[in-house]
Structure 1
Amino acid sequence: MGQGLLPYLCCPDAAAAIDFYTSVFGATEVQRWTADDGRIGHAELSLAGEPLFLADEYPEIGVRSPYAYGGTPLSLVLSVPDAVATAERAVEAGATVERPVKAQDDGSTAGWIIDPSGHRWNLRTAAEELPVEQLREVVGDRYTITEQPER
């Protein structure tokens, strides 16, 4: 594996999470390490061509799922061909809708779900990227959009 940033999720039931991510998001399982006590100590999936790591809870070493903290401060963004259909599959598989999928200011279609493991996902179908000036017109006074100079 090369350099980069990748998520490593803790799940209350990693095997069920693997089933969810493969059936709903189309991930593929790469490998799974199962401990003698039956817990998954490490699993690697490939999701949208990128690695996703996950494991069961190991509270004895401080590894806990979002449910142990009452939720998660982290959101994962997943670009999908059809955000509406993906959100519907997710709900059928046990996810809850945090914000329904709808048209966004940037022209994308997006919504937020909480998966059965407590992780928040922004499911989005991208649209043609709008120029910054057009985005500023769309959002009006709600946001100030700044750009960083090229480095």
Structure 2
Amino acid sequence: MRTVTPHLVCAGAAKAIEFYKKAFGAEEMMRLEGPDGKLWHGCVRIGDSLVMLVDEAPDWGSLGPKALKGTPVTIHLNVPDVDSFVERAVTAGATVVMPVDDAFWGDRYGQVEDPFGHRWSVATHVKDMTLEEIKAAMPDMSGCGTKG
């Protein structure tokens, strides 16, 4: 385990494991099902990190992003080839939220949403930049969020 490990609540956590295997090349580490067939605890490895999963349990206040109508959380993945990674994820059923492009901070970067409502940012580091270089390359966002 790393210091921080995401623990995702999913409507259909067993299906989420299968999706992560196809889309992200995840390796299933364990699966513990309750007598009702729901996943009480699951764990996959994506790259060198673990992600834990569980089925929704509304009686316990445990709801996934679809039930909550969105998520404020984005899970970040560093990968060797962001373009092929995102293409594989989309083929498996992810939706592109932000197309892959060269980012001003030196990564090639994009975002996808999985079929369970979890958002993933994906990047390949392209070049090292100083904070000053990043600030100089940063776009003017002064009109961001305004209508008209």
Residue 23 of structure 2 contacts residue 91 of structure 2 at CA under 8 Å; is this kept in 1? Answer: no
The equivalent of 2:18 in structure 1 is 19
Paired AA for residue 80 in structure 1: V
C-alpha distance after superposition, 1:39-87 (max 9, x if no partner): 0010011112111100111111111110111110100000111111111
**Alpha-carbon distance, 1:140 to partner:** 5.7
Equivalent-residue separation in structure 1 for 2:100 and 2:139 (angstroms): 22
Q: How much is the aligned-residue C-alpha RMSD, in angstroms?
A: 1.5
8 A contact 2:10–2:53 mirrored in 1: yes
Q: Which position in structure 1 is the counterpart of 2:75?
A: 76
Per-residue CA deviation, residues 97-149 of structure 1 (Å, 9 max, x unaligned), is 11111110012111111101100000111122201121122116549xxxxxx
CA shift for structure 1 position 5: 1.4
Correspondence for 2:115: 116
Matches for 1:55-74 after TM superposition, within 5 Å:
55-74=54-73
Identity %: 38
The structural deviation recorded for 1:20 is: 1.3
| Runs of at least 4 residues off by over 2 Å | 140-143
1:89 aligns with 2:88: yes
The unaligned stretches of length 5 or more in structure 2 are 143-148
Q: What SS does structure 1 have at the residue aligned with 2:127?
A: coil
Q: Distance in 2 between matches of 1:119 and 1:16?
A: 13
Measured in 1, the distance between the counterparts of 2:89 and 2:139 equals 33
How does the TM-score come out when normalised to structure 2? 0.89
Q: Is the 8 A contact 2:28 2:43 kept in 1?
A: yes
* Cα distance in 2 for residues equivalent to 1:135 and 1:76: 22
Listed as ranges, the gaps of 5+ residues in structure 1 are: 144-151
User: Residues 101 and 110 of structure 2 are in contact (CA less than 8 Å); yes or no, is this contact kept in structure 1?
Assistant: yes
C-alpha change, 1:132 and 1:8, in structure 2 (3 Å) is same
Q: Give per-residue Cα distances to partners, 1:5-59, cap 9 Å, x unaligned.
A: 1100011111111111112211111111001111001001111211110011111
Distance 1:91 1:32 in 2: 25
